[in-house]
Each structure stands twice: as structure tokens, then as C-alpha cells.
Structure 1
Amino acid sequence: MTTETPRIDILGERAVRDPYGAFAPLRRDSPVVWDPQYRSWLITRHRDVSAALRDDRFSSDRIAPFIERKLSEPGTDPLVRQAFEVLRNWMVFQDKPSHLRLRGLVSRAFTPRAVSRMRDRAAELCTELLAGIGNRDEFDLIAEVAYPLPAVVIAEMLGVPPEDRDTFKHWSDEVAPLVSAGLDDPDRYARAAAAMDALVAYFSGLLRRYEAQPADNLISGLIEARDADDTLTEAEVVATCTLLLFGGHETTANLIANSVLALLQHPDQLAALRDGEVDVRRAVEEFLRFDGPGKAVVRVMSEDVEFGGELLRKGQRVFLVLAAANRDPEVFDDPDVLRLDRSHNPHVAFGFGAHHCLGAALARLEAGVAVPILVAGLPGVRLAERPLRWQQVFLTRGLRELWLSADGATR
């Protein structure tokens, strides 16, 4: 017998502002539950989320069914259909064996060496962005540092010319609704589809450029990997470029901003980090657990499965609530307390198993560089007297702005 969820609106004001408090009762009383409002299963307990992330029956292939179900009717905007065809080629929306094949393509270009060599560049950029704040008494950390830092890093890694980066950012922002929402706003989706079309044309042009003149960047690495594997299509390579662009900055921007917010709300932990009393790498893992950049991931059942005492039927959508799993008291001592020296920290902020985030190493590096620089460079910083406004989406956890105050911001 299906158990219905207690009254909770996953996109309501309370759940958006404080998902941890909102989902705690579900995790305790109904860890696998059907949400009739969103016609989806919610899985909130750490052991269940971890198991589902490793279970191939929880399919990542949700774009192809959506295309066939929603975008195959007469009158569908061809640009919208084309945009979702690009998403179909993103490895995060595919299962084995296609997922492994595309992941292999990216991993050969996105090497540990390519990531680690960005450490000095990330530090240089963060220092420059911080200096740009100057002596302003109030500033938005997201607009000034948290967003531009990873956006510039991924652009440079891909091989996007500096003069194109503003356009690059605009396209990325416009494409976001294709990933995070439904077709309930035709105008917004038309803009997103047009941006995806422009982005595909742009990356196709860069492929031609770097085929003729290879350079030391990710696009050249993807071309080399494609040429070594004749099963890869140009459409898949271009789609992978759009994925790296989109995924390469939003997650890290949210991680940096959420981390700074957590420190300002926990002055003892801020002091410990500033005084060098905690290991930065361990601190980043605690930031990821405590208020990470992802609230949930989506899966679709590929067959009927008995799970957590419930029958999850083929074709049903499942939300694996990472935010709830990362505050599970069965796994974490004092889960609602920020402890930068936490030694046992098996969080699932970047997923788990075959779909573990391939860009996790870069996000960790950038946050591990940026947060200490910000802590050192903003000694008198505090939260401005403005309300915190969270993005009203379910899958990601990010602020719209993070306004800070300081008496002469940088030193």
C-alpha cells in the first residue's frame, strides 16, 4: 500500500529556505514516500539514497522519454526539441553503456593534471576579484566573486576566448530552464532553446578552430579523444562542451557562497579556519555536507522495484534528496552542526557510484582556494541587513545574492 507524504511543498517557501528542517520529518517517519503534488517518490535517508545511487534500476535517462512523451507532437517548437536533443547527449542523462563511453571521453580530457594546474590561476583570479570590491561598504559576493571565478576558470579550461565570456555567460544563464523546469513557460523556454542553438553553433565553430590549430585546452582534448574513438559523434562532443560549460560554474559558485554564509553564521568555525586550526580539505568536505550546492538528483525507474517497503513502478520519477541524506543522524554525529574538523564524513553531495560528479575535483579545488582567500581578505566582513533570497528550485541549493558588509571591504 502506497504511503502518501505528510503535507510538504518541496518548492514552498519553507522547503526552499530550510530544506534540512523541512525534510527531517520525512527522513524520520517516511523515508521512501510518494508525493502526489509532484507525482514523484521522495527518498531522504542516507542509506537509501546511497543504495539508489548505486542501483542501475534507478535510471538517469529522463530526457529521451520526455522528448518522446512531450516533444513529439505536431506544433512543438523545433528549436525546443533540438535543445533537448542536445541534453539527451549529456552523459549525466544517460545510462550504461552510453554513459560510460561519454564519461571516458571527458575523463581523458578532464585529467587530474588539467585540474590541478588551475590552482594558481584560481588563486590569482580570486585575489583580483576580491581587489575589485575595493572599499565598498556593501557588495554581493556572488556577483563579485563566487560566480565569475568558476565561470572564468571553466572558460579558460575549455579554450573560450576572453572576449567571448560575457556572451558565454548569457547563453549559460538562458539554458538553465531546460535543465531545471518543465514546459510551463513557453516564452522562457523559447529563449532557452535559442540560447542552446547559439551555444551549439559557437562550440561547433570552436571545434573547427581547434581541429585546425590544436591548443592546450579541454576542447582540443575532446577532439583528440573523439579522433581516437570512432564511435563518438560530433554532436556528442559539442553536447559535452555545453555540459562542461553549464556544470563547470553553477555548482562551484553555489558551493563558495554557501560556504561563506555558513562561516558567517558560525563565528567559532570562521575563527578556526582563519587561524589555521582546521585542514582546508576537510573543511570543504564539511561545507559540502552541511549546505552543499545540490539538494536532490532525479532518477526514473526502469522497472518495478520493491524499495524501502514501497513498490516503485517502472516510469515513475524519483527524487533522491541529497540534502536530507547529508543531515541523517544515523550517519553523522550532530548533523545540524557545522564542524570543520569532522573526520567521519561520507556525504553524498556529489552523488555516488557511476554518476559521481566528474567535476567534483575542480569544485573542491576552487572552493578550497577561494574560501581561505576570502576569509583572509575580508577580516571584518559580516552579513548585510538584507533578507537571504534562495533560488526557488528543487534540484540545486543556491542564493540569488549574498550581500555582505564591511568597513572598507578589502585589506
Structure 2
Amino acid sequence: MSEATATTAPSANEPKRAPEYEERSRSNEVLSDILNGNFVISILAVLFALVIGAILIAVTNEDVQTASGYFFAAPGDTLGAIWNAVSGAYGALFQGSIYNFRRDGFLDGIKPLTDTLTFATPLIAAALGIGIAFRVGLFNIGGRGQMLIAAACAGWVGFSFELPWGVHLALALLAGVVGGALWGGLVGLLKARTGAHEVILTIMLNYVAFYLISWMLRTPGLLQAPGSVNPKSPAMLETAVMPEILGPKYNLHLGFLLVIAATIFAWWLLNRSSLGFTFRAVGENPNAARVAGINVKNTYVYAMLISGGLVGLAGVMQVLGTVTTGFSAGIDAGIGFDAITVALLGRSKPWGIFAAGVLFGAFKAGGFAMQAAEGIPIDIVTVVQSLIVLFIAAPPLIRAVFFLPKQGVRRRTVPSVSKEVTAK
């Protein structure tokens, strides 16, 4: 006798489950895409960095160290000290960067937010330039040099000529942007014509710009203030100073509106223009772009010109908006290097860079308040910023910490099908 075989076909009365399985699979795919998206990973990286920052704050706090000496006798004292240290530090960070509840009235309480935006303004401008270079496959770490050259050009126009307010400010702004663009474009030109690596070029040009500006600030008749023994420029004329957009009570100046316009321009350039398509094509694969007929060498030059101009805009904001009483060779204030961090956190996308710049502006504005109010070292904020970049650069670590599904792995529910087995 022959053996009967198992049948797996569902009966006519059994409901069809395929659409339900497809719906579950589709929803799982959507959920996986959301959890593995850049935005969620960035938010979780910031939260994880803040948690580690809280641990560092607790470990270095004197009250916590004292209470931990008798932890087993009174564990509540240690936990309370940890809570007071961490909540006090992050509370001061919030009140120093967003809103201060201790001040009278809304207008006084909102001043920390304007300080945050003031700190963020040059960061965003410089990071936009560096982000555009990243999208073309160029690693522009010459922000310091480009800012110094732009600040020198804008500052020289700002204190040398007596012109009407609108004309004077516009010319100083244009001079600074052009100076930064030419200094950045020099990198693109050398890379295109000689094949030199942009990292080496930008590092060397940073030193060239620093010592060049330092010499000019020590030389009478160039950038040195008349009668000054210090390497410092004259103060900017009032007609070349960016006005405060909210009044003299706040430090927020016209540069913030300019950086919003720069962000819109960068978004349009990268996503809506033919030149932006060329930038992205070269950044993805320069060899394929060359085969497609794109002039890769010229693209490098154009990209570095625009990158240097945007970074130069940050230098202009420093000398015409923040430090208007005369600048020195340290006018860049480390913004050229911090902008690399902001561009990485924003993933080289204009609006992502804008948000990252505001976040880092909040860290800078709130960090001083945290140090003054709670005695927390300002270095803790720097550590948190560094950890954010580290975690942004290591998405698998964030997925492992928060138990997120691996990217590209789809979790599907296998349907259970009843089997009818006939006996022999």
C-alpha cells in the first residue's frame, strides 16, 4: 500500500491570512526604517551623551563623593546627592541656554535663548560651508584660515572707509565673503590642477592665514590700530556694524537672519539646482561622474569657492557682529574646527546643520551658566559634545545600546498553516 502525503492547502472555510501578513511586514519595515533613520539615531546619540555626561557630573561632584563614603549606611543620601548634582547642572544648562525662570518677565527670561542663537550663528554659517564640501567628497578643515582671511577683509573695509550705513555694511560683508571664497577656492584649484590632497592644503593654509594676519596686525598701516602696542585692529565704524535685531538689550544681531538665508540657499543649491546635482554626483562617485561627462576638477573648484564663502561669512559675523571693538588673530575662536563637528552631527544637510548649530550654541551658552551656578567644569560640556559626534559616527553602537533592529533586517511573522496528515 502507498503512504498518504500531507496536504498544506487551506480549506475553503479557513480565512486567508496573506493580506494580514503583508500588512504586518509592511508596518514592521516602516517601523524599522524609522528607528534606523538618521533623525532618530541623532536624537538617541544626544540622549546617550547626556546620560554619560550626567555620570561624569555625579562622579566629580563633592557632595556625591562625600555621601558615597557611607553609601551602605544611608544609600538615600548618595542617590539624593546624585539627583541634586545632575538636575542642578542640567537645570542650569537649560536656564542658561533656553529660558531663565528666575528672571522677572518673559522678555528677560527669554534672553538665554537669544544668547544661544548668537553663539549658533557663526557655527551654522561655517558648518554649512564645510557640509557642502563634504557632499562633494572634500574634507574641508580649513575653516580657521578661511574665517581669518574673511575677518581681515571685512574688518579692513569696516574700519577704513566712511560710507553710508547700508552701503558700508554691504561692502564689508561682500569683502569678507569674497575673501573666504578665494581662500577656499585656492584649495580647490590646487587639488584640481596638481592633485594635492585637500586635507594637507587646508591644514597648511590655516597656518599661512594665521601668521599672515598676525603679521598684518603687528604692522602699522595694515591692520594694526594706530598707536596700539598690541596686535589688534581698530574698532569697526558704526556704519559697518550689524544691528541688533531685537534691540540693544539682546546680543542677537543681523547675522542670524543672514544665516537663515544661507541655510535656505544651501538647501536650494544641493537639492534644487543643477550645480547641486553635480556636487552630489561627484561626492557619490567621482569616477562615474567623470564618465557621465561631469568636469570633476571644475566641480572641486566651484565647491571650495562656495564652501570658503560660507565659512568666510562666519568670520564676517564675528568681526562685524560679535567683536566690533577690534579683532586679533584669535577672532575665529575655534569656530572653524567646531563647525566640522556641527556638520557631522547635521549629516551635511542644511537644515540638519542648522539644528545641530543651535544645539551646540545652547551647549556653549548654557555651559557658562552651568559653570557659574553649579561649579561644573566647562570641560564636561566639551566631553558631551565629543561623545555626541562619536555616537553619531557609530550607529551600530546606538542600535545596540537602545536594542534597535539592525539596519536592513526585516522581521516577518511566519504564518502557521494547519497541516492535515492522513494515517497510513
TM interval, shorter chain, is: under 0.3
Given the two structures, how large is their TM-score scaled by the length of structure 2?
0.24
- Report which of the two has the higher share of helix: 2
More strand by percentage = 1
Report the TM-score, using the length of structure 1 for normalisation.
0.25
